[in-house]
Amino acid sequence: MQELIAKQSKSGAGKPYSTIATILSVLAMGLGQLYNRQFMKGIILLAVHAITLYTVIFKLPHAVWGLTTLGETQTQLKKVGRLYQQVMGDHSVFLMIEGLVTIFAVIILLWIYVLSIKDSYRTGKLREQGGVPNTFRQTVSFVLSYRFPYLILALPLAGVFFFTIMPIVFMILIAFTDYTSKNMPPAHLLNWAGFDAFRDIFQMKGWNTTFYKVTLWTFLWAILATLTGYFGGFGVALLVQQKRIRFKSFWRTLFILPYAIPMFVSMLILQNMFNGQFGPVNQYLELLGFNRIPWLSDPTWAKVTLVIANFWVSFPVSMLMIIGIMSTIPKDMYEAADIDGASSFQKTRLITFPSVMYSMAPLLIMSFVGNMNNFNVIFLLTNGNPVNSDLQFAGDTDILITWLFKLSMEYGQYSYSSVIGIIIFIILSVFAIWNVRRTKAFKEDTSS
Amino acid sequence: MSRKLRGSVWLSISYVLLAVIGVFSVYPALWVVMSSFRTGNSLFSETLIPTAFTLEHYANLFSKYDFARWYTNTLKIALTTTVIGTVLTLLPGYAFSIFRFTGRKTMMSTLMVLGLFPGFMSMIAVFILLNLLNLLNTHLAVILVYAAGAPLFFLFAKSYFDTIPKSLVEAARMDGAGHLSIFFRIVMPLSTPLIVYTALSIFAGSFTDFLFAKLVLRTPETKTLAVGLFDMISSRQATDFTSFAAGCVLIAVPITFLFILLQRLLTEGLTAGAEKG
């Protein structure tokens, strides 16, 4: 046996398998593998090579042209015979998306190319040392057992790529064009406008005041919404979990109701309840001898209403979570505190509160971020209203995300809305990255 | 004695507070249920409990509106999305929890960051993409987009899988179990709360989403409940509020019931995520 290996390595030595295989692979994917007698793999890679060549030669130039010019022929009326007919020109948006897809595909293909070169080099080296290259079946079973995570991740990641990453990249590109409802493909061609939209939002009068006002309210809103929801939930959790309270699960079930009702239903209901003229809230206020309150039509009251409504839908979740965490606090800590004669207030302040805060802190940040983009509550309850004529396409209660929505869906200001999108993106990324870094799930990994 | 007295005073106050919060939680739902039985079609009412009960509004939903079709459409979309979306959430959660591989952390943080972005921030782009694929106004489009977004919320699943003892998985591997049989025979049975939680949130999400559905589904035949109901009061200046209320009841009852039924599992799922963060 040992002789055999020695023989093999002797016959293998001297021959620069790795060099030849590498050169062949550089010439065309798969050739190196064929040379290494991995036929099946070689054939598959050759096919990939053919696809790559086809894409690079026939698709890439068009993609680059499309992305740089965004189309050259305008859709126009042309005289065909005696009639004028509409002749379709280039569609800037399609060109952009097709261009993006092609470039992504080329990047992936090139990556496979690099991998195949590395692979043939490694297999060549293995042969030089007298090893036998894997057969196709061995390769497949190697992939199945050692590359299993990649296999199960492929489908979810593909979905995320197509429906999340691509659209975001596309949105970023839109910010640098002159895309508005008045200048919209296919009737018009788009042009690259550079930083014009950014400059307008930060410097143009009207746009910049709107931007600052909306941003300020976005932050204020997120802080208020998060704190009320969290501490409200905390308070209710403490109340329900008291030792002497009976029917705990009955109370919990009762309080979960706002969370269980679908968001758009409950917001539309609240919108009606707070209706200034007919809503029951004002009816009751009147019965009690108070004045009616312009819940949704006064800028300040509308903001208050939003916070109340959000509190109503968000306290159950934090209550549930806090109850869960409270149940994990060791009982003996409370017993020890009892022996020391601590009052229940002291126990809450010194044991419950710190334990819950420790677990909830990262989630609080997440819910702050979530509230910054709490589209549903604002869109469904006030739709950003009351209208403010000083603001550009925004009402008094609009936060960045609803302003973005209005800009694009209602007013067709696509490039401006994309700029807002990018700004939200940047703000969120700061929080997200900071949060990801300090999440326990990640810390755990670094130690292992 | 005084301490005991103080205790019972506080207890009574607690009960009063609980009752007040209870009313606060239940009232809007109660109001809508009551409105749905009230005669006429206006918001306005002197009393919470209607003076005359009627089921007319429920009948209206099916005669005047195409409620039955909306309901089947919604169920179809929500159930398909739930199945695909749950699988697409569990897979990355499992991969990231059990395996260590190159690019793992990068992928995880990318997914987490992407998960923070509201899906419709890039809705125009998704819309155009669907147009390119010729999928506008189809249920498939809605299902695809909902399900494709699900993996972004893998973190709950990952944290949950993290709590399953590694030794269990390793022992099975020693015994020669393959990846798939470990997943289906060992990990899955231990993860019921997680699966329920994931499936339920995806179901509830796709059952009640209206924004994206409204954008993509344009003809009356493809409408979902949320879109139908939203159009009912937004397009007609709230003239038919009581039918809307009846519709709300029919949507909210199954979802609410599911939530309450699965409350315990839900709490477990939520806290497992919270502890690990």
CB-based contact A272 B207, cutoff 8 Å: no
Please check whether residue A48 lies inside any domain of the structure: yes
Interface A-B, measured as beta-carbon pairs within 8 A, has a size of: 271
Q: Which of B272, B258, B256 lies closest to B193 in space, CA to CA?
A: B272
Residues A230, A149 within the same domain: no
Residue A426 contacts B where some CB pair is shorter than 8 Å: no
Rounded CA separation A380/B79 (Å): 25
A394 and A343, same domain (yes or no): yes
Q: Are both A68 and A101 inside the same structural domain?
A: yes
| CA atoms of B237 and A44, how far apart (whole Å) | 62
Interface-testing mutation among B13, B15, B20, B25, with chain A (most A C-beta atoms within 10 A): B25
**Is B210 in contact with B226 (CB distance < 8 Å)?**
yes
Residues A148 and A264 in one domain: no
SS (H, E, C) chain A: CHHHHHHHHHHHCCCCHHHHHHHHHHHCCCHHHHHCCCHHHHHHHHHHHHHHHHHHHHHHHHHHHHHHHCCCCCCEEEEECCEEEEECCCCHHHHHHHHHHHHHHHHHHHHHHHHHHHHHHHHHHHHHCCCCCCCHHHHHHHHHHHCHHHHHHHHHHHHHHHHHHHHHHHHHHHCCECCCCCCCCCCCCCCECCCHHHHHHHHCCCHHHHHHHHHHHHHHHHHHHHHHHHHHHHHHHHHHCCCCCCCHHHHHHHHHHHHHCCHHHHHHHHHHHCCCCCCHHHHHHHHCCCCCCCCCCCHHHHHHHHHHHHHHHHHHHHHHHHHHHHCCCCHHHHHHHHHCCCCHHHHHHHHHHHHHHHHHHHHHHHHHHHHHCCHHHHHHHCCCCCECCCCCCCECCCCHHHHHHHHHHHCCCHHHHHHHHHHHHHHHHHHHHHHHHHCHHHHHHHHC
Q: Is the pLDDT of residue A6 over 70?
A: no
A160/A234 same-domain check: no
For residues B72 and B225, what is the distance between their CA atoms, to the nearest angstrom? 9
Tell me if A180 is assigned to some domain: no
> For position B207, what pLDDT does the model report?
87
| Residue pair B244/A329 in contact by the 8 Å Cβ criterion | no
Beta-carbon separation of A244 and B11 below 8 A: yes
**Per-residue DSSP letter, B186:** I
Residue B50 has pLDDT above 80, yes or no: no
Are residues A379 and B229, on separate chains, in Cβ contact within 8 Å?
A: no
| Mean pLDDT across B106-122 | 80
Residues in chain B: 277
Considering only CA atoms, give the Rg of chain B: 24
In a domain, A330, yes or no: yes
Model confidence at A306: pLDDT above 80: yes
Q: What is the pLDDT of residue A203?
A: 87
- Kindly state whether residues A210 and A109 are assigned to the same domain: no
Q: How far apart are CA A156 and CA A378, in angstroms?
A: 31
Chain A stretch 183-222, residues whose beta carbon is closer than 8 A to a beta carbon of chain B:
none
Angle at A271 between CA A265 and CA A276, to 5 degrees: 160
Distance between start and end Cα atoms, chain B: 44
> What pLDDT is attached to residue A378?
92
Beta-carbon separation of A257 and B25 below 8 A: yes
Residue A186 in any domain: the answer is no
Q: How confident is the model at residue A380 (pLDDT cuts 50, 70, 90)?
A: confident
Per residue in A23-55, pLDDT (tens digit) is 888 888 888 888 888 888 889 999 999 999 999
User: What residue numbers bound the domain in which A215 lies?
Assistant: 200-446
Q: Which two tokens stand for residue A125?
A: 């080296």
| ipTM confidence | 0.81
Can you give the pLDDT at residue A439?
A: 61
Weakest mean pLDDT among A70-74, A97-101, A318-322, A392-396: A70-74
Does the distance separating the beta carbons of B162 and A444 come in below 8 Å? yes
- Of the candidates A212, A186, A199, which has an alpha carbon nearest to the alpha carbon of residue A88? A186
Residue B173 has pLDDT above 90, yes or no: no
How close, in Å, is residue B31 to chain A by CA atoms?
9
Going by C-alpha positions, the residue among B263, B275, B265, B267 that lies closest to residue B163 is B275
Peptide bond into A167 cis (omega under 30): no
| Residue A229's CATH number | 1.10.3720.10
Q: Give me the phi and psi of B53, to 5 degrees please.
A: -85, 145
Q: Which residue of A has its CA nearest to B131?
A: A94
Task: Report pLDDT for B275.
Answer: 45
Residue with tokens 């006429």: B40
Pick the residue from chain B with its C-alpha nearest to A246: B15
* CA dist., res. B79 & res. B254, Å (int): 14
Q: Which member of B215, B256, B270 has the closest CB to residue A260?
A: B256
Task: Please state, as a whole number, how many other Cβ atoms lie within 10 Å of the Cβ of residue A375.
Answer: 18
- Confirm or reject contact between A425 and chain B (CB < 8 A): yes
- Closest-CA residue of B relative to A400 is B121
Looking at the structure, do residues A169 and A224 belong to the same domain, yes or no? no
- State both tokens at A137: 């079946």
> Is A414 inside a domain boundary?
yes
Q: Are residues A159 and A22 in the same domain?
A: yes
Tokens of A265: 């239903």
Q: Tokens at residue A306, please?
A: 């939003």
* B270 pLDDT tier (thresholds 50, 70, 90): low
CB contact under 8 A, B24 and A278: no
Residues of B with CB below 8 A from A408's CB? 123-124
Percent of chain A topping pLDDT 70: 94
Longest Cα–Cα distance in chain A: 105
Residue A319 lies inside a defined structural domain of this protein: yes
Interhelix angle A207-240/A248-260, nearest 10 degrees: 160
Contact in structure between B128 and A97 (CB atoms under 8 Å): yes
Within-domain flag for A420: yes
Q: Does A401 touch chain B (CB under 8 A)?
A: yes
Structural domain tally of chain A?
2
Q: Does A156 touch chain B (CB under 8 A)?
A: yes
- pLDDT band (50, 70, 90) for residue A13: low
The reply to whether A156 and A241 lie within a common domain is no
DSSP B65: S
pLDDT(B2) > 80: no
Whether residues A400 and A284 fall in one domain: yes
Report pLDDT for A250: 87
Judge whether residue A113 has pLDDT over 80: yes
Q: Which domains does chain B have, with CATH numbers?
A: 1-53 (no CATH), 60-272 (1.10.3720.10)
Which residues have CB under 8 Å from A182's CB, separation 6+? A412
Q: Please give the residue that has the higher pLDDT: either B5 or A108.
A: A108
Same domain, A113 and A25: yes
pLDDT at B205 exceeding the cut of 90: no
Per DSSP, B46 falls in state S
- Residues A131, A8: Cα–Cα separation, whole Å: 8
CA-based nearest distance B37→chain A, Å: 15
Closest-CA residue of A relative to B99 is A149
Confidence class for position B114, pLDDT limits 50, 70, 90? confident
Question: What is the C-alpha separation between A224 and A78, in angstroms, rounded?
Answer: 59
> Distance, in angstroms, between A43 CA and closest chain B CA?
27
Residues A171, A29 share a domain: yes
Q: What is the pLDDT of residue B75?
A: 93
Chain B nearest C-alpha distance from A433 (Å): 7
Q: How far is CA A414 from the centre of its chain?
A: 20
Facing A321 at nearest CB: one of B229, B230, B274? B274
**Amino acid identity of A207?**
W
A236 within domain boundaries: yes
Residue B277: what pLDDT?
37
pTM for the predicted model, two decimal places = 0.80
Distance from CA of A82 to the nearest CA of B (A): 33
Q: Are A374 and A220 in contact (CB under 8 A)?
A: no
**Distance of alpha carbon A185 from alpha carbon A424, whole angstroms:** 26
Cα–Cα dist B21/A228, whole Å: 14
Report the candidate in A389, A388, A390, A402 with the shortest Cα–Cα distance to residue A215: A402
Model confidence at B237, pLDDT cuts 50, 70, 90, reads: low
pLDDT at B143: 94
Torsion of Cα atoms, A53 then A56 then A62 then A64, to 10°? 180
